[in-house]
Amino acid sequence: MNNESQVFVGIDIGTAFIKIIAIQAANNSMNVVGVGVAESKGVNKGMIVDIDQTITDIKAAQADLNKKSQIPMDQVTVGIPTGHLTIEELKGSLKLGDNPREITEEDLRNLVTQILGKHQVLDRDFVGFSSEEFIVDNFDGIHDPFGMMGMSLSIKCLAYSIPKTIFQNIIKAIKGAGFTVRNVVLNPVAIAAVALSGAQREMGTVLIDAGSGETSVNVFQNGCLQVSDTIFEGGKNVTSDISKVLQISNQDAETVKIDYGSLRSQDIPAGESFVIKSLDRVKEIEISDQYLSEIIGARFEQIFDKVKQILVSSSAFNLPGGIIITGGNSALPGTKDQVSKLLEKQITIYVPDQIGVRNQIYTVVYGLIIHTLHISKVQKTLEETLNFNFHEATPSGRQTEQAIESEGDLTSEAEIKVKSKKNKGIMSSLKKWIYNLFE
């Protein structure tokens, strides 16, 4: 690494774990120089429910990272979960002048600031922005307008927002732990930066983050996150099912799951078993591996039944990029075959291949930095504008001296296409009894 190297820090506040990563980047090389993880006790279903606890847990993750070597860190990139995410398609137009002139980053900033200002609502915060296309004068299909000559600049983009309280609690926890927020990145956008190729992001791919409290189902196409839906179930529910059915503590159930759990019930030879202590620590109970696998399988069936319905309703089943799954709840042996069977479609499991993060619990935190490092100039300008607005807390605060062409559709609510699909209540009645049994 040369003198120009810089350390980038990412934080993923998950339901089960807080992960923190430090990556040293210089020119075209980069190195993971530290990774830390701590149990997350102040988060439920992806949402912070106890700020003080989360601050303590972030500090514990930082201490874990610093065990090997002290890494100075201040500014951090923070992951944003998809639960309660809304995706809107917005359009805006900026008049540049009566004579053609070169389009600059400042023009794009002004355009985006105006769009954000017009569409800001009281109870939601914008957390991401992605351009689908630019139109310079009457020429559409432009991906990068910088340097082009024109008299007007229009954008068709996707804006991502979450409830203000969820966002503000994330920012508060990060600040409370002593960090400054450098930028925020949606978790699936971070994952896509490492798990999907450019062609997969363009042509269409399903990306599933199988976490602890959430299973997030995302569709990328035309380079953007087009659909995102969240099932509020994951590895935590698997553990809690094991705890309830075997009548053991949650902690023992987690150990049993990691040590003996699998999704290979059909392939496990009869007679394979293990012994655990009962809740009162007196009796010893013998459990067959097959029985454990059936308990785990029931929850997976329930979760992926919902995933299937989301994919059907989003017409995302046959996208050329296929279905990629990552996140800690995809780590059980047999997950690939069993989930492929449940979805009736071959899936691929993504595990980061970088030294230090070869475990799918680190996919998001690793992707946060890779996304930040590889971002295009256009996307960087969009995100910087968003970050400027959120730091200043004045979404429409930036004054532009240029006129904004009010395109009618810029202000009309009817033109805002809410793309996120809320599939509440899609639980199949057939599986309902399993849910009731375990909850």
Ligand X SMILES: Nc1ncnc2c1ncn2[C@@H]1O[C@H](COP(=O)(O)OP(=O)(O)OP(=O)(O)O)[C@@H](O)[C@H]1O
The helix-helix angle for 235-246 and 289-313 (nearest 10°) equals 140
Q: How many CB atoms lie within 10 A of CB 245?
A: 17
d(CA 208, CA 308): 11
Q: Which stretch binds ligand X (CB under 6 A): 63-71, 229-237, 280-288, 408-416?
A: 229-237
Nearest by Cα to 433 from 278, 298, 270: 298
Residue 10 is a binding residue for Mg ion (CB under 5 A): no
The correct pick among 128, 150, 235, 297 for binding ligand X (CB under 6 A) is 235
Q: Under the criterion CB under 6 A, does residue 80 sit at the interface with ligand X?
A: no
From candidates 10, 11, 13, 14, binder to Mg ion by CB under 5 A? 14
| DSSP-based three-state secondary structure for 314 | coil
Distance CA 280, CA 269 (A): 30
Determine, following the binding rule CB under 6 A, whether residue 16 of this chain makes contact with ligand X. yes
Pattern 255-274, ligand X, x by CB under 6 A: --xx--x-------------
**Single residue of 34, 211, 334, 367 touching ligand X by CB under 6 A:** 211
Q: Is 386 in the site for ligand X (CB under 6 A)?
A: no
Q: Which of 209, 226, 233 is nearest to 81 (CA)?
A: 209
* Nearest residue (CB) to ligand X, 34 versus 261: 261
DSSP class per residue in 198-225: HHHHHH-EEEEEE-SS-EEEEEEETTEE
Say which residue the tokens 């149990």 belong to.
39
Closest approach, Cβ 186 to ligand X, in A, equals: 12
- CA 203/CA 205 separation, integer angstroms: 7
Instruction: Examine residue 79 and tell whether it contacts Mg ion (CB under 5 A).
Output: no
Residue 258 binding target from ligand X, Mg ion, none, CB below 5 to 8 Å by type:
ligand X
User: Binding marks (x or -) toward Mg ion, 189..218, rule CB under 5 A?
Assistant: ----------------------x-------
Type and span of the H or E element at 180: strand 180-186
Q: How, if at all, do strands 284-288 and 180-186 pair?
A: unpaired
Asked if 297 interacts with ligand X (CB under 6 A), we say no
Size of the chain in residues: 439
- Residue 330 CB, nearest approach to Mg ion (Å): 11
Judged by beta carbon distances under 5 to 8 A according to partner kind, the member of Mg ion, ligand X, none in contact with residue 16 is ligand X
Cα distance between residue 214 and residue 403, in whole Å: 44
Using CB distances below 5 to 8 A depending on partner kind, what does residue 332 bind out of ligand X, Mg ion, none? ligand X
Least spacing, CB of residue 259 vs ligand X, in Å: 9
Question: Which residues of the shown chain bind ligand X in the complex (CB under 6 A)?
Answer: 14-17, 40, 46, 81, 211-214, 234-236, 239, 254, 257-258, 261, 327-329, 331-332, 361
